[in-house]
Amino acid sequence: MKPQEQEWIKSAANEAFLVWWPKWQMQNAEALKTLQEKHGVQILRTPPDILREFLKGWDELAAEESAKNPFFKKTLESQRKYAALVVPAKRFYFIPYSFVANYYFPERR
């Protein structure tokens, strides 16, 4: 495949993603609203202590798998290196989503 053709494919894939993403968000929002309003489903957030335990469990599993699988370990280390650079930067230049969301759309309790 020629480099130009590769670029066409990359551009088409990027465009498809950009079109899909807002549609996906809208479909999920509409489905959530339907579940709550039409079917009376109560949607609850997972408490932070449960989320922390989930992450601790993942850390244990990742450590076990890293000890058994060199490729897994290499991949995990690469992802963590990437995240160690990107996460602090994103925390700096993206304000917390909840800040803006709560300003315009305060949570109803």
Instruction: Give the predicted TM-score (pTM) of the model.
Output: 0.68
Same domain for 65 and 100? yes
21: domain range?
Answer: 1-43
Same domain for 62 and 32? no
| Domain-terminating residue out of 25, 43, 61 | 43
Taking every pair of Cα atoms in the chain, the longest distance, rounded to a whole number of angstroms, is 57
Question: What's the CA gap between 107 and 64, in Å, rounded?
Answer: 40
Same domain for 39 and 68? no
What string of pLDDT tens digits covers the 109 residues of the chain? 899 999 999 999 999 999 999 999 999 999 999 999 999 999 999 999 999 999 999 999 999 999 999 999 999 999 999 999 999 999 999 989 999 999 999 988 6
Q: What are phi and psi of 82, to 5 degrees?
A: -60, -50
Same domain for 50 and 39? no
Name the domain count of the chain: 2
Residue 99 CB coordination number (10 Å): 8
Question: What's the CA gap between 7 and 19, in Å, rounded?
Answer: 18
